[in-house]
Structure 1
Amino acid sequence: MPSVEDDRKAVAGRQVRACAARAAKGAAALASAPDADVDAALRGMARRLAGARSALLAANDRDLEAAVAAGLSPGSQDRLRLTNDRLESMAAQLRSLADIPHELRDRVIEERPDGLTLLERRRPVGVVGANFEARPNVTLDIASQFLKSRNAGVLRTGSAALRSSRMLMSEVIGPALCAAGLDPDVIQLVPDADRAAAYALVSEPGLIPLVILRGSGESTRDLGRTAARHGVRTLAHADGGGVLYVGPAADEEAVHRLITDSLDRLGVCNRLNLLLIDQSWYDRFLPGILRVLEHADVTASLPPHPHARGYEWSLDPARSATVTIDAANGPLHAARIANEETSQLAAAVATRDPAVATQFIDAYAGTGVFWNSTTRLLDGFELLGLPETGINIDRGPGPRGPVTFRDLYLRQFLVVPTGANTGGVGEGGIPVHPEAGRGAPGL
């Protein structure tokens, strides 16, 4: 007889498949929808955030009450919390996204001497899945990026944010899509808080060929392994932790400011996690750095460490207010530590010496590297002016770093007679010639 576990998995699988089927029905129409309609839906979401403020905050209060009762860490509670300021920030990001020009559908690669023209065409994936941590704003971030990229979506969030996310779907996202003449079913939220739904999401390659995986730690990595076994491609963000290398010729006041700026939020992936001080400056800089950390109510883990040097503190709710400190023997050694002992999410170098900065930057292979600036800048909106679906830290070809709507497409090669109207550039289509769509970014 089927076990209780089998029954849970079966229910979750049915729910995910039903969501994918509803999303798929509107995917083709969304792919061909006028740019103006897509942007109208985004602006409508921004307006409806204000109109639904009371309902959203009330639902979020219930989520927070349940989170406190369940013992959710202060950092996780902070990520879960909605405030008036955060709602306004979410609305501002939607308006900014609506104002950004849509990507060209076709890019000319070559006008050939045989009378043919080679183009690269962008095509939506179709239905994209997303599994993400209990942060209500991410529900809107990902939905908006899917919409702008013309992809339907199936979203699954942590149980702690389910009330808030449901309210965003019913009061903001769905109504805005309807008002803009788009099918509200193209964005689906899995109603099941059971973790089995996350595994179902990465197990349906025929329905959901690509899944965004956000979160931290082993649970997200395990979802990625499950997806690989089922032939589902993922853009995964399982690990984080920013590194700061204080090199020779660093400005002490600037270092203190960087540390403070890097610890404004402790529950995010790009916060300062590992602080490396050049051996030649260690004794000089350490006392002031310890005072800065103490002022920020952050504990310094000093050598010898009873943990891995790259241990990610944001994943440890009981000790999230911690930064690991160690010495490095020059910029190449610091870069090697960051490459080999951390997730390679982001690293920064603090120095006034261009030679030191260049050595560190050239040796560090991670997703983002910063000179005299904070790793907190590794964020879609901070770097690119766009909300992100997540930060992909894969070490293979494909979108890396903050993933936005510009990355969520399939590349297709198209060969047509030179001068033919492909209907592909812009909404009306133009005859193909060597400059048509030239310069549009590719994969």
Structure 2
Amino acid sequence: MSEVREKAVLAGKTAAILGGLGTEAKNEALLAAAKALEEQAAEIIAANREDLERGRQNGTSESLLDRLALNESRIAGIAEGLRQIVELPDPVGDVLATIDRPNGLHIVQQRVPLGVIGIIYEARPNVTVDAVGLCLKTGNAVVLRGGSSALSSNRKIVEIIHRTLEQTTVPKDAVQLIEDPNRSSVDEMLKLNGLLDVVIPRGGSSLIQTVVQNATVPVIETGAGICHTFLDETADPAMAEEIALNAKVQRPSVCNSMETLLVHRSYANRHLADLAEKFREAGVELRGCETTRKLVAWANPATEEDYATEYNDYILNVKIVDDLDEALAHIARFGTKHSECIVTENGGNAARFQQEVDAAAVYHNASTRFTDGFEFGFGAEIGISTQKLHARGPMGLPALTSSKYIIHGNGQIRK
């Protein structure tokens, strides 16, 4: 039996046990895991150092190395995410609806775990802990397949979690890590019907499309982030500058960072040159339309391919638009339904933007960097769904549940 199938089987054997655990038992396990991760941070950092060194030898970009890197502060943040999950209400068992039929049937719709969840993700080892926390809190077993670039870090994190769970009522086999770095392990996961109840990909567009196009297991699609910020004609210059810079440079390697800045022509004539200098000081390469390059001589030309690219790097497209209509049309063409922002003092334009833009998160006067389970108060997230079925946006605890109907009768038969 392959590693993938063997570990999926092990995870599946724990599903019934997990589904029967109460909130207190699950919370105790998560608190113990948070404490263990902090106390054994040195082990995790040492393992992470192996991944970083291997990445440098393979020519990995600095922005991707930043996504991979762990330190005591980041590990403390990861542990805090688990503690926040503990503080959140447990959705399992929630009653969604009750129905009393004329024939005497009493029907209750109740939240239940999905079962066994497969998570396929790339370079960020914090996703390992987020996924474990959210899945265990909702009574789900989880099969993790992280990227090879973070294998040492993920292996150590799961090792610590396994040691911790052995001291709790949560079975350690509920958490499984696929260590086979070959693409074939992903391909096999996508076909594990009957062993995995759902697969969730988390990463770049290539990974997500591979999963969506090849899986026979049901998929919750998370999306790449080609996010836009539109500086409208009435945008407050100080606010616009802070939001735009934050959206791009605070952490450019993540999916909610801005890739294209749309600027109203009138605003650009007054303020774009100064804003561009701020980006240059921050080390950002600008790629602009023809009008942008007239206002910012050092900007490189932007192509159609650039507008369709998720850089995850210190590169930003800038496009001048004549009005809100043109901004909306550009977003409709190039956006990935992730996160979009308008900066404006015009309430009508803000309302129209938020109504017409088709995205999981649509902002008025705030950075797209807030599209995140932690920032939304979910403790952590399993991913950001850009689809419209079952879940959309940052996926917290309720997104990892399904429901079933509990029906009570007293001898009814259908005639």
Once the two structures are superposed, the pairs formed by residues 151-162 of structure 1 within 5 Å of their partners are 151-162=140-151
Preserved CA contact (<8 Å) 1:27 1:151: yes
Q: 1:110 deviation in Å?
A: 3.0
**Of residues 134, 138, 159 in structure 1, which corresponds to 2:127?**
138
Residue of structure 1 equivalent to 2:323: 330
With the length of structure 1 as denominator, give the TM-score of the two structures.
Answer: 0.86
| 1:224 matches 2:217 | no
Question: What residue identity is the alignment partner of 2:308?
Answer: Y
In the aligned structure 2, how far is the partner of 1:312 from the partner of 1:376? 18
Once the two structures are superposed, the pairs formed by residues 265-276 of structure 1 within 5 Å of their partners are 265-276=251-262
In the aligned structure 1, how far is the partner of 2:169 from the partner of 2:186? 30
**Of residues 44, 62, 85 in structure 2, which corresponds to 1:74?**
62
**Of residues 397, 401, 407 in structure 1, which corresponds to 2:393?**
401
Preserved CA contact (<8 Å) 2:223 2:338: no
Q: 1:142 deviation in Å?
A: 0.5
In the aligned structure 1, how far is the partner of 2:20 from the partner of 2:88? 18
Residue of structure 1 equivalent to 2:311: 314
| 1:33 matches 2:32 | no
| 1:110 matches 2:99 | yes
- Farther off after superposition, 362-371 or 329-338: 329-338
Residue 234 of structure 1 aligns to a residue whose secondary structure is coil
Residue of structure 1 equivalent to 2:275: 289
Residue of structure 2 equivalent to 1:249: 234
Question: What residue identity is the alignment partner of 1:348?
Answer: C
Q: 1:179 deviation in Å?
A: 1.6
In the aligned structure 2, how far is the partner of 1:116 from the partner of 1:288? 69
* Post-superposition CA distance 1:193-246 (Å, at most 9, x none): 11211111111111113001011022331221000xx2x111122411221011
* Post-superposition CA distance 1:261-294 (Å, at most 9, x none): 1121111111011110112322112112201211
With the length of structure 2 as denominator, give the TM-score of the two structures.
Answer: 0.92
- Farther off after superposition, 159-168 or 120-129: 120-129
Preserved CA contact (<8 Å) 2:83 2:379: no
**Of residues 234, 255, 258 in structure 1, which corresponds to 2:243?**
258
Residue 233 of structure 1 aligns to a residue whose secondary structure is coil
Q: 1:348 deviation in Å?
A: 0.4
Question: What residue identity is the alignment partner of 2:311?
Answer: S
Which runs of at least 4 in structure 1 moved beyond 6 Å after TM superposition? none
**Of residues 363, 367, 370 in structure 2, which corresponds to 1:377?**
370
Residue 314 of structure 1 aligns to a residue whose secondary structure is coil
In the aligned structure 2, how far is the partner of 1:149 from the partner of 1:204? 21
Residue 188 of structure 1 aligns to a residue whose secondary structure is strand
In the aligned structure 1, how far is the partner of 2:280 from the partner of 2:17? 56
Residue 229 of structure 2 aligns to a residue whose secondary structure is strand
Tell me, which stretches of 5 or more residues in structure 1 are unaligned? 1-12, 419-443
* Post-superposition CA distance 1:390-439 (Å, at most 9, x none): 11111x32201111221112222333259xxxxxxxxxxxxxxxxxxxxx
* Post-superposition CA distance 1:324-365 (Å, at most 9, x none): 111223223312211221212110000111111111111101
Residue of structure 2 equivalent to 1:422: none
In the aligned structure 2, how far is the partner of 1:235 from the partner of 1:272? 24
* Post-superposition CA distance 1:366-404 (Å, at most 9, x none): 11100000101111111133211111111x322011112
Residue of structure 1 equivalent to 2:82: 94
In the aligned structure 2, how far is the partner of 1:82 from the partner of 1:269? 18
- Farther off after superposition, 337-346 or 129-138: 337-346
Preserved CA contact (<8 Å) 1:313 1:321: no
Q: 1:109 deviation in Å?
A: 3.3
Residue of structure 2 equivalent to 1:234: 219
In the aligned structure 2, how far is the partner of 1:183 from the partner of 1:383? 30
Question: What residue identity is the alignment partner of 1:327?
Answer: I
